[in-house]
A and B are shown apart, each in its own frame.
Chain A
């Protein structure tokens, strides 16, 4: 399999395009998983597995394709498909202060993919997932802060520290999920490189 696109260099095989499209659709399930399996509802707020799925995108598709699949997810959300958490979507989501997290997921997939491409022990998968979670928090919280500063002209009383205090509440839950993502990703890492016959799937 190897069809060429524009130019002479092979950039995307048909299979890559299909994987990316499919994974960004999977991200949508991850964002709204609690509507199918209400396994974790913290204080009435359904949690999302977006970070979890972003980490898996990096592990399963690799750094490059994984990052692109999350970017495609962000684009279809902005184009109006209700793919973000709680079935929201639309171009106005760009103004939502939490949109920074969606962008952070792109880096997450890339970074996780890069780490597990170099180190392939189970420990490395877990460390990669944890580092990615920290990156999500740093990027997302800074985005929230600057969103308030720039779009809302927030006065200096809305401090940087305040933004961080806000974000501390969901941190333990996300760390648990990161470890889970590392372990799960390690077990699932080869799923995509095997033909169906070896995967035990029959029609």
Chain B
């Protein structure tokens, strides 16, 4: 369990999508999320779907991982589809059964909105499936770098994210250990009235907070001892580099945007 948590959703690989610079991926996804809302015709959706499926196959990530990304919002998709199906009254009457009336407009609208969600989830899932959280943190630090001019603490934010990612597995183990230790002393989390159960959590939370803060203080001490001075002049273990591949992907994506705007209101 701990291993999967460190890397999160990341599926290791060496595909084209994996090799892209994380900054490229974040930029493209940012604009993709915006242009999806501009699609309004069959062909414009087709252009976007083609791009989405192409990226998915190029990433060589098994489909079941992508489908897992759908889990948190499948309810939203189904709910929206049904809502549009039953309520939209445009077009020709397709089906009538007691009080339920389904029109063509509802079907088309329902499919279009579901498609929009599918595309959004597909493309955003691909980012986290092909990039480690640490790589994303590095990329965000680089992208936000210009904000340093207005005194936005970009470097500090990235460092906090790295520290947090580093300590998640440690704290998970710690929590597990404490909860077992307290259970062996007879703490019962499962039975009794709410008040008793809330009280039972206290022997878990207090040692957890104390040990977490103790670790934080030790870490800070170690940083001070090594002369941590903030972002200026610090070198990096992992350097990001824009390659030829990134440039080609940018060109491809610009073609997709042009394609989308040419096919809007068409078909």
Write the residues of chain A forming the contact surface with B, with a CB cutoff of 8 angstroms.
1, 3-7, 11-15, 17-26, 28-29, 33, 36-40, 56, 60, 68-69, 72-73, 75-76, 79-83, 87-97, 147-148, 151-155, 157-158, 176-177, 180, 184, 188, 191-192, 196, 199, 201
Contact = CB atoms under 8 A, between A and B. Distances in A.
Contacts of B9: 80, 82, 89-90
Contact of B83 (A38, A80, A157): A157
Given A20-B160, A72-B161, A97 B171 contact: no
B251 to A, nearest CB: 24
B209 to A, nearest CB: 6
Contacts of B175: 29, 33, 36
B43 interface: no
B133 A79 contact: yes
Nearest to A27: B164
Contact of A5 (B4, B133, B156, B171): B156
B164 A39 contact: no
A148 B200 CA distance: 39
B128 A155 contact: no
B182 to A, nearest CB: 8
Given A20-B160, A22-B216, A80 B231 contact: no
Interface residues of B, number: 86
B214 A201 contact: yes
Contacts, number: 243
B240 interface: no
A54 B242 CA distance: 38
B201 interface: yes
A22 B166 CA distance: 9
Nearest to B225: A14
B220 interface: yes
B259 interface: no
Contact of B117 (A1, A11, A151, A196): A151
B42 interface: no
Contacts of B8: 79-82, 89-90
A199 B210 contact: yes
Given A18-B216, A19-B216, A26-B212, A93 B171 contact: no
B125 A92 contact: yes
A19 B167 contact: no
A17 B113 contact: no
B209 A91 contact: no
B103 interface: no
Contacts of A201: 210-211, 214
B23 interface: no
